[in-house]
Structure 1
């Protein structure tokens, strides 16, 4: 009787799961088809999921079911998730609107470092297996469909550096500098003095190694430091860049980030902020927060713009790279799958299934436009020296 009640609950939940026809095999061997037409994919539920969690957060329940092999899918995982995201009423497509910021506390410096370590300190050897040679772990820029991931990441880096309109001798600050590729390219190609800050010990070690290999110790520096500590040093910068870091700040800390950017930037200085964005403020995804990016929240365009305007950061350019991120993620997925042998020597099968789900869901997310990726070019106060057209970006 209990099992039949559970199965009826699943059938109800699955009725509006996807836009495509699909079949489900339940733990008792019975098969049900949903939607008319030839099935595009198949789901096998080998064991019932936690009923309480299923009621509270179906997305997390299904994600953990997949990770633990209680659920298997027959079909392209990204395509399946995309069909779920396209179904507006799907139980797995219900983002929670952020009604108030009061329940969120400002993330302390120790917590921020722990959150970063959870993801970025998995080991440089792991990331080297599926990122490209630049070790860029952010949206690439595909100037043509034939671009390799390596070429597209180089494109992205130099697209950013051109937007900044760097001049020899200027001071550049990179907040969340990753594995250091942008810092080094800025120093080599534009003759700037560059400082990068990161909370990841692994990224710090790799960046230090790269600086030494390039012989740029007098021009490039990297520190393990929370960006909120930089004001104490009293240094201001001609240019500031931050790539893929604002997603870790949290809604409540956006004003703090913009305030610090204002204080660290010289008058008429230029900053480029590259981050995932949403249309509206939503609470962090439970699966991503629990397993992938603790403390992560996608900022909305409007809260970013409001934070900028409150700190005299004037937008001179704003560009969406949403579809570039879909392609980037597909490259990462392919690299990840092609290196499963080496990855399985470092991590167990649950981790592999978790990351497969993460990369596939992110690709579907950008294809469906649930999230976007924007580059904001801002100046501190009016700057009359930047080129008046975008022609200089493509010379």
Structure 2
């Protein structure tokens, strides 16, 4: 198992708190009812934000066959939209959610979902008590690397993530991953405002880095591009925040509201122009025979 320096995990936690701990009530003003703060999935042009977020959640739950799962791990669980459905709709006996936001963890715990354990813990520090039938990670992968990482260092960190997920999954388990990624832009061209004011110490992957890191560990069974879905989602969030501007200003102040409105509009533009994109991947562990054939050590 690769050793990752403590400074990396401390920086990731600080960056998460910077963005997400502005307050649950602020996010409640402009997110949908499920408090899903990630790209929605539109199936028709008439989908509302609420329906599109339900579509997104269903995509990930179906990808891991949640209806048959006994244990599921949600890495970057947010305000618990996935955990709620695992507990209620699918009756999963054991669901674990990892977040680095104390505000999010407090919110999820207050819901008292049956069979759900939420932890303020980095995946690098997590040690599971047993195997999982499925792992879902939505919007956390963007926080694993740092802006000063080389491509080789990014792949090393991503490979550590995939190695642990493979170790934590049952042989027939699946990983459903959703992440923003660089598309027709590289890190040097990224917007300074976004890097410094919105997501400090975060770094996006590229598709080639993701696949290189997963090579030999996971088979990529499905991949889809949700770039235009995310452009629409960010535009919807911006519209809803603008409509709630007086209430939002009372909660967090005019400067913070203006910062978020700018970030949402810039994000929508970036997705629309193809500078950044959104990938949804479904991955399954390679069988041990694959490694034996290659002469690799099986973990």
Corresponding position: 1:298 with 2:204? yes
Q: 2:234 is matched with which residue: 329, 341, 344?
A: 329
Instruction: Report the Cα offset of residue 359 of structure 1.
Output: 0.6
Q: 2:181 is matched with which residue: 246, 254, 277?
A: 277
Q: 1:112 is matched with which residue: 12, 37, 42?
A: 12
Aligned residues: 272
Q: Separation in 2 of the partners of 1:336 and 1:129?
A: 7
Q: Separation in 2 of the partners of 1:248 and 1:141?
A: 22
Instruction: Report the Cα offset of residue 127 of structure 1.
Output: 0.3
Q: Separation in 2 of the partners of 1:298 and 1:307?
A: 14
Match of 2:160 in 1: 256
Match of 1:370 in 2: 275
Q: Residues 203 and 127 (structure 1 numbering): CA distance in 2 closer, same or farther, change over 3 Å?
A: same
Match of 2:95 in 1: 194
Q: Deviations over 1:13-35 (max 9, x none)?
A: xxxxxxxxxxxxxxxxxxxxxxx
Q: 1:240 is matched with which residue: 101, 125, 135?
A: 135
Indicate if the aligned counterparts of 1:170 and 1:238 stay in contact, CA closer than 8 A.
yes
Q: Separation in 2 of the partners of 1:309 and 1:165?
A: 23
Instruction: Report the Cα offset of residue 169 of structure 1.
Output: 4.6
- TM-score, scaled to structure 2: 0.85
Q: 1:342 is matched with which residue: 247, 250, 265?
A: 247
Q: Separation in 2 of the partners of 1:225 and 1:246?
A: 15
The alignment partner of 2:264 has SS state of helix
Q: Separation in 2 of the partners of 1:296 and 1:109?
A: 11
Give the aligned CA root-mean-square deviation in angstroms: 1.9
Corresponding position: 1:156 with 2:56? yes
Match of 1:309 in 2: 215
Higher relative contact order (CA 8 A, sep 6+): 2
Q: Separation in 1 of the partners of 2:203 and 2:278?
A: 14
The alignment partner of 1:360 has SS state of helix
Runs of 4+ with deviation above 4 angstroms: none
The alignment partner of 1:174 has SS state of strand
- TM-score, scaled to structure 1: 0.65
Indicate if the aligned counterparts of 2:73 and 2:134 stay in contact, CA closer than 8 A.
yes
Q: Separation in 1 of the partners of 2:144 and 2:137?
A: 12
Q: Residues 208 and 234 (structure 1 numbering): CA distance in 2 closer, same or farther, change over 3 Å?
A: closer
